[in-house]
Structure 1
Amino acid sequence: MTPRVRTLFITVTAVALAVPLLTVTAEAEHHSPPPRTGFELSKGVRWTTQTEERAFLADVDRGSDRVRVGRIGTSKQGRPIRLARIGNREAPNTVLLICSQHGDEPSGREACLTTIRDLAHDRDRRTRELLSRTRVLVVPTANPDGRAADTRGNSDGIDINRDHLALRTAEGRALAAVIRDHRPDVVYDLHEYGATPPYYDRELFDLWPRNLNTDTAVHRESTILSGRYVRPAARKEGYTTGTYGLWTDPETGEPIRQVAGDGQERILRNASGVKNSLGLLIESRVDALTVEERTDPALNNRRRVGSQLAALDGLFTFTADRRGKVESATTAARLAGLRDRGPVYIGGADNDPAGPEEIIADPPCAYRLDAAQLAEVGDELALHGVTHRRDGDGALVPLRQSQRKLIPLLLDSRATYHLTKGQPMTAC
């Protein structure tokens, strides 16, 4: 791949996607051809079913020693939430793809499934080098109940992408455990959106962590991933790009209104930044662009998936080019919490300065939880990777740890989405 060679996918969709064929060739690790998804087999007429996904991932796992597929959770309706691990498990650099948090946004899931297959089977030099230095983790269907029902929320109607703080859903808890256990350097979150022409109708939008608790270097690398890699890669293959949540004047390109994309900490791209990982949200356009796409939904579907694949090319090029800088940024951000210095922000964003009431200028050294509070939120703290120590019949949660800036968002009464009202401690 380059690092993506979609040999089989491109064979059936290249004309419709209007994307040049890649010149790098790849060969399967085994004589039998690599498996194809239901989407590929139908040439985009339909999305891959969950039964097909299970068989596809099993075939990929059997056919390559580069990949391991396992279950990391189970939805309320009993469907598995799977994680594919690809590449060198000892590599210091880790990239996590989260696909289909919203069940009615399937194009990113299709891109993730073929990415698993291609990384597992392609033998070109760039793919081998990528996987020798990087672990790629993929959750292909983060919301299996929602995908089965073609709904945004899970089977309880909860938006999983608003549950990355409270962790009330099985899906949110599974993703939190993956982030805690694997400490990804990059969390890449694939979505789709409905256009509002002419102000909001690019083929691909993206957005980095806007939350002000994101470390400066982590924030910088996230914006570099967007501006220097993902957007140029998409534009190179003919897709228009822009910033998620911003309406722009069609003549000048200047922002005229923000309709989404704030610094809210319970959203994955922001939670990733608070947890010291680079984050990037990707949104492909659902609506048909042309008369041909309106007439032939499969053509529209292939364009949606193609834009996701183009953006993934940018992600993997970024990983290869800036691996060292990313590792330095995320490592330094995690160590910074141990110094226990600096403010914590409970509001604002990188394009919306926090007011005085949105800044905890001198955070406490710890929050005390009584026994009932510890019983209520102890599991969630553990899933977030936040440690505590026993204190009588309760516990002290010190800020001096790598997740320092997350803790007030969980336990301070002033934080919008706090889990419980911990008692601030000024002496520890």
Structure 2
Amino acid sequence: MRARLRAAVLSVTAAVLALPFVAAPESRASATAPPRTGFERSGGARWTGEAEEQRFLAAVDRASDRVSVTRIGTTGQGRPLRLVTVGTGRTATRLLLVCSQHGDEPAGREACLTTVRDLALAEDAETIRFLSRTTVLVVPTANPDGRAANTRTNADGIDINRDHLALETAEGRALAAVQRDHRPDVVHDLHEYDATPPYYDKALLSLWPRNLNTHARVHDEARTLSEAYVRPAAERAGHSSGVYGIWTDPVTGEPLKQVAGDGQERILRNTAGLKHSVGLLVETRITPLTEEEKRDTAVNNRRRVTTHLTALDSAFAYVTERRGAVEAATTAARLAGPGDRGPVYLGGADNDPAEPADILRDPPCGYRLTPAQYTDVRDELALHGVRARPRGDGSAFVPLGQSRRALVALLLDARAAYHLAEGQPVIAC
């Protein structure tokens, strides 16, 4: 199917871009040329511009009744935040792609834009069946102001990928609303990184939620997505791969030290896990890999995008092959909270045991917020899908006995590293 896709959809750029498994027939290509991104039209010499993205998505929306484009927010500089929904109706499985949270990491955005088009225009039986059972949600540019300025942060200097708990940014709030309203089973977060040869220099790195509060079945599915699908697919395509945040010995492949990738609850892959989605961070290497890539920026850019497309291809395969296991895991996690009486972890990671002081071994049954506190955080609680019980005096009680149980403690316990309010623990309900 990839061969048909390259021939039918990408036309001139077929020789330089490998795309996901979805396909469009040759007859469509000959009858009506499909929309192409600025990146494709330039052969990878430049990234797609803001106006080009708008025209591209509008053209795809017009060309396919499987696609809808909605505005989910507005950035500090007035740019729209868009959600693209691709599917053929209400389906059980939902896959969310979050593209280029960091504005100076544009390859994921290019991969997302072409994936939207290819899913929208495909007419082969395999893709039609996939979309009949899967809704694909895409935020193609999660940081439009940062992309326009080519900066990691948004216009206010905030790293969006450290704002998935506090929700101080319009970008973070929009993504939280999408997660609350659509409850994706899988969240695929596309990034890029600068290599540190020879210890940290793979073409692709990936990482699952390390936060210890992630439900065990969701955690295991996320690791399966990384280690049994994304990384092997990259290797088969000729791209080296590794685990994000871990320096490895270039000879033995043994881990040397951890430089990133901890269990911080404010990072999207971890927040996704806390919200019972199979979260995965995927990073492609910005630094050139070959002498040809050093000489020609377009070659380097195409490799970065192609690597992301390979990862997306494997994510679609994962959803197709493990659909039942994924839905069972996310459903079990969502239902577990109200009856859970186990500990809540305020620190640690799946490869870094929590310190005793970071474990709420006998958590309270909830937290009481004063009227002022509740006024300050009620919107954020609602965006996170956390249920509160308002009182007549303006105060509120937030019970732990709800689906996003651990998130309640991480948001409201004074000992949590990124809490929004210092709620009063209520021991007996």
Do these two structures clear the TM 0.5 threshold for a shared fold by scoring above it?
A: yes
Q: Percent identity?
A: 64
Structure 2 counterparts to residues 339-358 of structure 1, below 5 A: 339-358=339-358
Q: Indicate conservation of the 8 Å contact 1:29/1:122, yes or no.
A: no
Structure 2: distance between partners of 1:48 and 1:364 = 50
Match of 1:115 in 2: 115
Which deviations, in whole Å up to 9, do the C-alpha atoms of 1:170-196 show, x marking residues without a partner?
000000000000000001000000000
What residue number does 1:147 align with?
147
TM superposition shift of 1:88? 3.4
Distance 1:29 1:185, change over 3 A: farther
Q: Which deviates further from its counterpart, 109-118 or 392-401?
A: 392-401
Residues 330 and 412 (structure 1 numbering): CA distance in 2 closer, same or farther, change over 3 Å?
same
Secondary structure in 2 matching 1:400: coil
Give 2:91's aligned residue.
91
The one-letter amino acid paired with 2:408 is I
Query: C-alpha distance in 2, partners of 1:363/1:4?
Result: 56
Aligned to 1:57: 57
Q: Which residue does the alignment assign to 1:270?
A: 270
TM-score if structure 1 supplies the norm length?
0.96
Q: Deviations over 1:1-52 (max 9, x none)?
A: 56993446765455556x6998966357694221000000000010000100
Q: Which residue of 2 aligns with 1:209?
A: 209
Distance 2:10 2:318 in 1: 22
Matched residue, 1:26: 25
C-alpha deviations, 1:385-421, integer Å up to 9, x for none?
0011122420000111111111000000010000000
Say whether residues 1:219 and 2:224 are aligned partners.
no
What TM-score do you get using the length of structure 2 for normalisation?
0.96
Read off the aligned partner of 2:180 and give its amino acid letter: R
5+ residue gaps, structure 2: none
* Contact 2:2-2:22 at 8 Å conserved across structures: no
Match of 1:195 in 2: 195
Letter of the 1:401 partner, please give it.
Q
Q: Secondary structure at the match of 1:213?
A: coil
> Could you say which residue in structure 2 is the equivalent of 1:421?
422
SS of the aligned residue for 1:69 comes to: strand
Match status 1:253 vs 2:253: yes
- Give the root-mean-square deviation of aligned CA atoms: 1.9
Name the count of aligned residue pairs. 427
Report Cα offsets for 1:132-151 as digits up to 9, x if no partner. 00100000000000000000
Closer, same or farther: CA 294–192 of 1 in aligned 2, 3 Å = same
- Looking at structure 1, the residues matched to 325 and 11 of structure 2 have their Cα atoms a distance apart, in angstroms, of 36
CA–CA distance in structure 1, aligned partners of residues 144 and 125 of structure 2: 35
Matched residue type, 2:411: L
How far apart are residue 254 of structure 1 and its match? 0.3
d(CA) in 2 for partners of 1:145, 1:71: 15
Partner of 2:35: 35
Contact 2:64 2:121 in 1 (8 A): yes
- Report the AA paired with residue 26 of structure 1: P
- Supply the distance in 1 between the matched residues of 2:131 and 2:254 (Cα, whole angstroms): 40
1:399 match: 400
Q: Deviations over 1:314-346 (max 9, x none)?
A: 000001000111000000000000113211100
Distance in 2 (CA, whole Å) between partners of 1:10 and 1:236 is 22
Using a 3 Å threshold, how does the CA distance of structure 1 residues 7 and 362 change in structure 2: closer, same or farther?
farther
Amino acid at match of 1:245: G
Task: Determine the C-alpha separation between the residues in 2 that align with 1:86 and 1:3.
Answer: 22
Cα 1:21–1:224 shift into 2, 3 Å: closer
Partner of 2:409: 408
Amino acid at match of 1:397: V
Cα distance in 2, alignment partners of residues 22 and 324 from structure 1: 21
2:25 is matched by which residue type in structure 1?
Answer: A
Contact 1:4/1:115, CA 8 A, preserved across alignment: no
Amino acid of the structure 1 residue aligned with 2:417: T
Q: Which whole-Å CA distance do the structure 2 matches of 1:192 and 1:75 have between them?
A: 22
Quote the offset at 1:153 in angstroms.
Answer: 0.1
Q: Does the 8 Å contact 2:44/2:299 carry over to 1?
A: yes
